[in-house]
Amino acid sequence: MKNTSLVSKIALGRIEILIRLAEEKMLENSVESGRLAKRYVRLANELSSHYKTSIPKKLKNKICNKCGNLLVPGINCKVRLASTQGYAVYACECGKEKHIFYKNICKKRLHS
Protein backbone atom coordinates (compact mmCIF):
# COMPACT_ATOMS: atom_id res chain seq x y z
CA MET A 1 0.00 0.00 0.00
CA LYS A 2 1.50 3.32 -1.05
CA ASN A 3 1.50 6.45 1.06
CA THR A 4 -0.32 8.97 -1.15
CA SER A 5 0.84 12.05 0.75
CA LEU A 6 4.48 11.01 0.36
CA VAL A 7 3.98 10.29 -3.34
CA SER A 8 2.33 13.66 -3.93
CA LYS A 9 5.14 15.46 -2.05
CA ILE A 10 7.74 13.76 -4.24
CA ALA A 11 5.75 14.58 -7.38
CA LEU A 12 5.46 18.24 -6.36
CA GLY A 13 9.19 18.37 -5.72
CA ARG A 14 9.89 16.97 -9.18
CA ILE A 15 7.44 19.42 -10.77
CA GLU A 16 9.19 22.35 -9.08
CA ILE A 17 12.58 21.07 -10.27
CA LEU A 18 11.30 20.73 -13.85
CA ILE A 19 9.86 24.26 -13.87
CA ARG A 20 13.12 25.65 -12.45
CA LEU A 21 15.12 23.83 -15.15
CA ALA A 22 12.73 25.19 -17.78
CA GLU A 23 13.33 28.74 -16.49
CA GLU A 24 17.08 28.25 -16.73
CA LYS A 25 16.79 26.95 -20.29
CA MET A 26 14.50 29.80 -21.37
CA LEU A 27 17.03 32.34 -20.11
CA GLU A 28 19.59 30.89 -22.53
CA ASN A 29 17.37 32.34 -25.29
CA SER A 30 18.10 29.90 -28.13
CA VAL A 31 15.76 27.80 -30.25
CA GLU A 32 17.01 24.47 -28.91
CA SER A 33 16.85 25.57 -25.28
CA GLY A 34 13.29 26.86 -25.88
CA ARG A 35 12.24 23.44 -27.13
CA LEU A 36 13.85 21.78 -24.14
CA ALA A 37 12.11 24.19 -21.75
CA LYS A 38 8.77 23.40 -23.39
CA ARG A 39 9.50 19.69 -22.95
CA TYR A 40 10.23 20.23 -19.24
CA VAL A 41 6.90 22.02 -18.81
CA ARG A 42 5.09 19.22 -20.64
CA LEU A 43 6.74 16.64 -18.34
CA ALA A 44 5.68 18.66 -15.29
CA ASN A 45 2.08 18.69 -16.57
CA GLU A 46 2.21 14.94 -17.19
CA LEU A 47 3.54 14.33 -13.66
CA SER A 48 0.77 16.48 -12.27
CA SER A 49 -1.95 14.59 -14.08
CA HIS A 50 -0.46 11.14 -13.45
CA TYR A 51 -0.13 11.59 -9.69
CA LYS A 52 -3.34 13.66 -9.43
CA THR A 53 -1.63 16.64 -7.85
CA SER A 54 -2.11 20.22 -8.89
CA ILE A 55 0.73 22.46 -9.92
CA PRO A 56 1.09 25.28 -7.36
CA LYS A 57 -0.46 28.58 -8.46
CA LYS A 58 2.84 30.46 -8.33
CA LEU A 59 4.24 28.03 -10.91
CA LYS A 60 1.05 27.68 -12.93
CA ASN A 61 0.99 31.45 -13.50
CA LYS A 62 4.27 31.11 -15.40
CA ILE A 63 2.86 28.68 -18.01
CA CYS A 64 0.89 29.63 -21.12
CA ASN A 65 -2.45 27.80 -21.27
CA LYS A 66 -2.49 27.64 -25.07
CA CYS A 67 1.01 26.63 -26.18
CA GLY A 68 2.59 25.41 -22.94
CA ASN A 69 5.54 27.79 -23.07
CA LEU A 70 7.11 29.08 -19.90
CA LEU A 71 6.38 32.82 -19.79
CA VAL A 72 9.61 34.78 -19.39
CA PRO A 73 9.16 38.55 -19.76
CA GLY A 74 11.35 40.05 -22.47
CA ILE A 75 12.14 36.70 -24.06
CA ASN A 76 8.87 35.15 -25.17
CA CYS A 77 6.16 37.36 -23.68
CA LYS A 78 5.28 41.00 -23.12
CA VAL A 79 4.02 42.32 -19.81
CA ARG A 80 1.76 45.29 -19.24
CA LEU A 81 -0.09 46.47 -16.16
CA ALA A 82 -3.79 47.22 -16.08
CA SER A 83 -3.49 49.30 -12.94
CA THR A 84 -7.13 50.33 -12.67
CA GLN A 85 -8.27 46.69 -12.74
CA GLY A 86 -5.36 45.47 -10.60
CA TYR A 87 -3.82 42.80 -12.81
CA ALA A 88 -0.78 42.21 -15.01
CA VAL A 89 -1.26 40.97 -18.56
CA TYR A 90 1.29 38.49 -19.89
CA ALA A 91 0.97 38.30 -23.69
CA CYS A 92 2.62 35.16 -25.07
CA GLU A 93 4.12 34.76 -28.56
CA CYS A 94 1.16 32.56 -29.53
CA GLY A 95 -1.27 35.42 -28.92
CA LYS A 96 -2.81 34.14 -25.69
CA GLU A 97 -3.00 36.59 -22.81
CA LYS A 98 -2.77 35.56 -19.17
CA HIS A 99 -4.16 37.89 -16.52
CA ILE A 100 -2.53 37.68 -13.11
CA PHE A 101 -4.19 39.70 -10.38
CA TYR A 102 -1.94 41.59 -8.00
CA LYS A 103 -4.23 44.09 -6.30
CA ASN A 104 -5.63 41.63 -3.73
CA ILE A 105 -2.18 40.21 -3.07
CA CYS A 106 -0.80 43.66 -2.25
CA LYS A 107 -3.69 44.38 0.12
CA LYS A 108 -3.18 41.07 1.96
CA ARG A 109 0.54 41.74 2.40
CA LEU A 110 -0.07 45.26 3.74
CA HIS A 111 -2.56 44.08 6.35
CA SER A 112 -0.53 41.15 7.63
| Alpha-carbon span 5 to 7, nearest angstrom | 5
Q: Are 91 and 64 in contact (CB under 8 A)?
A: no
Render pLDDT for 31-50 as a digit per residue (tens, 0 to 9).
899 899 999 999 999 999 99
Beta-carbon-side half-sphere exposure of residue 102 (alpha carbons within 13 Å)? 12
Render pLDDT for 56-101 as a digit per residue (tens, 0 to 9).
999 999 999 999 899 999 888 999 998 888 899 999 999 999 998 8
| Alpha-carbon span 33 to 38, nearest angstrom | 9
| Alpha-carbon span 31 to 25, nearest angstrom | 10
